[in-house]
Amino acid sequence: MGKNSQLSEYEEFLKKVFPDCRYNKEYDLLYKRICSFNIFIEILKKYINDEKVEFFISKIIYGYNMLLMYVPLNDSLGITACMRYITEQTLKCFYSYIFKDKSIKEINETSYRHIKDDIKSENTDKDCLNILYSQYAKYSNEVHDKLKLENKEIEYIYDILSGENIMIEKINEDINILMKILFIFLINNYEIKYELFNLSQRTNYEKVFSNKFHEKFDKLLEC
């Protein structure tokens, strides 16, 4: 399925399920990025062979796909909680790779504060981690603010659904950053190279994301 058919498919879906949703081009970008993410992450997973890392990748995929539901609802609390969830699962994906002796259950039960403290002593990419910490803190604060402020009455629900989504542009910027951090982490740590890709994987890789994305990741994959 080509990009144009994907985008029209999503728009058609929203018009059918959320007829009062105010659709705009940023929704197209969100959908295109998440579709590209799902394709590329499936390619990378073939070269990981790590049950714990793959478990947290599956949770990250779930988080991104849930955004496609929360965004057209214009549910700011749901969107914010979803972004925090994606960031947390990305951190746990890193954590599961670094601390190979810990089980999925142990990692799931480890709080954000303890994850951050444990990783401090490890020799890993501090710049990427600092971005993840910043994203997590930002969306955690926003969740708490919205829990305090958003006690809406029934009569306002229509206004929310039909109103303009003021978060979507920033969400697109942030998921672009989060996706790239995960890709870089997986490619570097599992030494994934383009030459390993089979014909189908190479074809799918060429279809995803933008030219700017390929300028960076072609070099990283030694394409």
Residue that wins the pLDDT comparison between 6 and 70: 70
CB 157 within 8 A of CB 196: no
Measured between alpha carbons, how far is 63 from 77 in angstroms, rounded to an integer?
Answer: 14
CB 78 within 8 A of CB 165: no
- pTM, entire model: 0.88
Measured between alpha carbons, how far is 40 from 47 in angstroms, rounded to an integer?
Answer: 12
pLDDT digits (tens, 9 = 90+) for 201-211: 999 999 898 88
Please provide the size of the chain in residues: 223
Measured between alpha carbons, how far is 15 from 17 in angstroms, rounded to an integer?
Answer: 6
Return the pLDDT at 1: 45
Measured between alpha carbons, how far is 44 from 100 in angstroms, rounded to an integer?
Answer: 19
Helices (H), the chain: 3-17, 25-45, 51-73, 76-98, 104-108, 112-120, 126-149, 157-162, 168-189, 199-207, 211-220
- Amino acid at residue number 218: D
CB 32 within 8 A of CB 3: yes
Measured between alpha carbons, how far is 82 from 60 in angstroms, rounded to an integer?
Answer: 10
Name the band, by pLDDT with cuts 50, 70 and 90, for residue 158: low
Share of the chain above pLDDT 90, in %: 65
Return the pLDDT at 15: 84
Return the pLDDT at 153: 56
Domain ranges, ordered by start, for the chain: 3-220
